[in-house]
Structure 1
């Protein structure tokens, strides 16, 4: 992707294609899995999208990933005196870049020292092999959205099976020993409607009327420590630390939270799925105790 003068644009960052047009882009913080389009100043806003102001004051246009034709990272490289550089800035007459080679003598003679490595600014007419490199972000995002949906975002859940049909269910029987099933539009003829539910989507079943009643939950390990999964946040799995080491919680700076009972404290982490190991689903039979 270049501007009308043939300069790399952007020199590095993210680009999304929407309705055939290319925009600088970024993940929409707090609105996962949406992507925000970032039109340049003076460019018309993307059609049919509403603006949203970020915490830093910048304005983006969130769009669902299924509406994008592409979303990818961009990085440009070039050669100067046959040595390879990563492009960091571009003007009509020059390109700036970080040195990717290993010739220390060349670097000390021609380049400026960085904290780590070397950099330089070069006339455009001396540049060769200017190349754009892309890494796809859209297909991995879509795959992650599907995976999280299939796993119900790794949330603990309770289900009941009635006449071969599986429904979300209460985790405990009520005072009468009946189990509430969320049946949606189904109306099981042999079950009574829950009088406490104005939506009429809950029906009550006795344990003997069910083929199965069970609870599921997921566990995983991160940095060697054990966690119970409790859902996802912005596409990352969230877990409660179940180990007994305060040193582990402190070393890895786990987040201290008040538990659901508003009394006990728990320590949690949010991490990318590819950063966890031993991700496993567990099933507990609840009918066995009835």
Structure 2
């Protein structure tokens, strides 16, 4: 199971949110509530601490997307913490979603906080951006 279902980077042994910035750089953003040892050079933008680093300086850069079923219906798991999964409903049964206490509507989507122990068919698909970048930029 993955903790975050979005683009991430490992830089100097620590984990950050990430995103590509041009061909040779990635921005990294501190995770809320995490105390970092390496925090030089970060700038604050609207309460988010960001820094741009060279791709070759990263230890890892990837995205893990997790899917699961809950009560027989498909969900995209966004994050997992303390035994709870924040998830977006990926099915089209809007009556079922409302009957099962999901928040939202058919136009903006449904979401829920689910017990991890109730998830079934959990699958994590990892895309390694750093390996792809190294293939395109040898040496």
TM bracket, shorter-chain basis: 0.5 to 0.7
> 1:210-250: CA deviations, max 9, x gaps?
xxxxxxxxxxxxxxxxxxxxxxxxxxxxxxxxxxxxxxxxx
Inter-CA distance 100–143: structure 2 relative to 1 (3 Å threshold): same
Say how many residue pairs are matched: 134
Q: In the TM superposition, what is the alpha-carbon distance from 1:92 to its structure 2 partner?
A: 1.9
Can you give the 5+ residue segments of structure 2 that lack an aligned partner in the other structure? none
Residue number in structure 1 paired with 2:76: 86
Residue number in structure 2 paired with 1:138: 130
Q: CA RMSD in A?
A: 3.2
Inter-CA distance 94–59: structure 2 relative to 1 (3 Å threshold): closer
C-alpha distance in 2, partners of 1:66/1:91? Answer: 30
Inter-CA distance 103–144: structure 2 relative to 1 (3 Å threshold): same
Inter-CA distance 52–120: structure 2 relative to 1 (3 Å threshold): closer
Residue number in structure 1 paired with 2:57: 67
C-alpha distance in 2, partners of 1:118/1:56? Answer: 28
Larger strand share, 1 or 2: 2
Residue 34 (str. 1) matches residue 28 (str. 2) = no
Task: Tell me the TM-score normalised to structure 2 length.
Answer: 0.68
Can you give the 5+ residue segments of structure 1 that lack an aligned partner in the other structure? 3-7, 147-290
C-alpha distance in 2, partners of 1:83/1:76? Answer: 14
Higher relative contact order, chain-length normalized (CA < 8 Å, sep 6+): 2
Q: In the TM superposition, what is the alpha-carbon distance from 1:86 to its structure 2 partner?
A: 0.8
Task: Tell me the TM-score normalised to structure 1 length.
Answer: 0.38
